[in-house]
Structure 1
Amino acid sequence: MAVIHRTTLKPTKLELLASWLPTRPWYEGGPGEPELTKAGGFRLDDPEGEVGIEFMVATDASGAVPTAYLVPLSYRGAPLDGAEHALVGTMEHGVLGKRWAYDGCHDPVLTAQLLALVAGRVQAQAQSISDTPDREVARSYTGGGLPVAFVPTATDDQDGTELPLPDGTTLRLHRVLRPATPDAPPVPPEGATGHVAGAWDVPDGSRARALFVTLHPGPRS
């Protein structure tokens, strides 16, 4: 299980994201700086204990209405070869030293563990508490065996990020989160063979839930 360190980060994760988010095609904010808060999310464990894996929900209040974004991040103690295009930024960790933060959709450790979560082989962990499962994260899978590991080739569009898998299926990350109605859980779209759903805090003090990830039997575009 990953250990959550109570320490300082310079710059903070949100400070890194404030510069990075407006460069994404799925970002819906205006021309001004994002006004970000960390609203929720979960973690996954790297079996080797080397890479930090976080699925953060960051809420941006700079627009007419607050918008929640799903931001998978991987944290490494050295640069990831060939992933310069996916670097969100570097920061100094008060315990671990210099850390390289990547858009996790391009990190093979994060994507392998995400597939393991969809398949039910691993459990989501609480974002800020060590050794504690996150019971709000739901998942399902109705297909055959999923790849254990692969080299991700992620593509961003106006709605999210797509990851084609070696078996011909497509993993879709819903970057702009659309909350489900309060009396109904998030439901995967027709034809989807798997999903991950999670929760986060909204500005009025309530909790919202939405699909984070869906798995589809073929290309989505």
Structure 2
Amino acid sequence: MAILHQATLTPTKTELIAAWLPGQPWFDGDAPLVTPVGAYRFDDPAGEVGIESHIVDVGGRTVHVPLTYRGAELDGADSFLVGTMEHSVLGARWVYDAVGDPVYRAELVRVVAEADTQVELVVQTPDGPVLRDPNMQVRGSGGTVPDDAEIVVVREPLRDQAPLSGLTLTGIWAGAPAPAVLAYIT
């Protein structure tokens, strides 16, 4: 279960994504207008790293952006740094493109192998915890992951070709024509 805080983020997640996208080799575009479409979370078993993947609309394109949030810099991951933000409850957060974060990669492999799904979202409010309904659903396919497996995150799930069978993470959100492959393991 992901514990969420009612907090102010500076800059916002959407602002960080919008500033970061144009510099990515897989994204061909200018400073985009980014509109959130959906998001899902995984849990770090150690409870230290926030793992949240975003589906955003960027000028009519659907883009998948997995992020991790850390309370300190991740050694050796400078090339994956999306930016830093100030969280009004947790303090400074270092935000990474999750493909470069070993905690995300391990959890993605586990979710795919175990045919698991995203975690429940619980918001801490002054009146106590409140369960938040998800705005999308994801599920791993299940299966044995080889030791030398390669993880591929599908950045444009409604456009890019991805295997529809095998070791996959698929997702569905409002406006999606059908479940789409978000990541696969080869």
TM-score by length of 1: 0.72
Q: Read off the aligned partner of 1:39 and give its amino acid letter.
A: V
Distance 2:168 2:133 in 1: 18
Select 1:54's aligned residue among 52, 55, 58. Answer: 52
1:28-60 C-alpha deviation (Å, 9 max, x unpaired): 33x3x2000111121001111110000111111
Match of 1:11 in 2: 11
Structure 2: gaps (5+ residues): 124-129
The question of whether the paired residues in 1 share the 8 Å contact of 2:140 and 2:167 is answered with: yes
- Report the Cα offset of residue 110 of structure 1: 0.8
Tell whether 2:184 aligns with 1:211: no
Aligned length: 179
Q: What is the CA-CA distance between 1:133 and the residue it aligns to?
A: 8.6
1 CA distance for matches of 2:66 and 2:121?
A: 12
SS at match of 2:4: coil
Counterparts of 2:121 and 2:18, CA distance in 1: 20
Asked if 1:200 is matched to 2:173, the reply is yes
Please give the alpha-carbon distance, in whole angstroms, between the structure 2 residues aligned to 1:93 and 1:55: 18
* Residues in 2 aligned to 1:73 and 1:27: alpha-carbon distance in whole angstroms: 16
Give the TM-score, by structure 2 length: 0.84
Task: Judge conservation of contact 2:53–2:67 (CA < 8 Å) in 1.
Answer: yes
Cα distance between partner residues in 2 of 1:22 and 1:128: 33
- Residue equivalent to 2:105: 111
Partner of 1:82: 76
Structure with more strand by fraction: 2
Task: Write the distance in 1 (CA, Å) between the matches of 2:131 and 2:98.
Answer: 22
Q: Distance in 2 between matches of 1:128 and 1:199?
A: 21
Structure 1: unaligned runs, 5 residues or longer: 148-166, 180-186, 217-221
Measured in 2, the distance between the counterparts of 1:195 and 1:28 equals 25
In structure 2, what is the Cα distance between the partners aligned to 1:101 and 1:21? 13
Q: Does 1:45 align with 2:43?
A: yes
Percent of aligned pairs with the same residue? 41
Q: Is residue 52–residue 75 contact of structure 1 (8 Å, CA) maintained in 2?
A: yes
Deviations 1:89-122 (A, max 9, x none): 0000010010000011111111111111001175
Aligned counterparts of 1:141 and 1:101: Cα–Cα separation in 2: 29
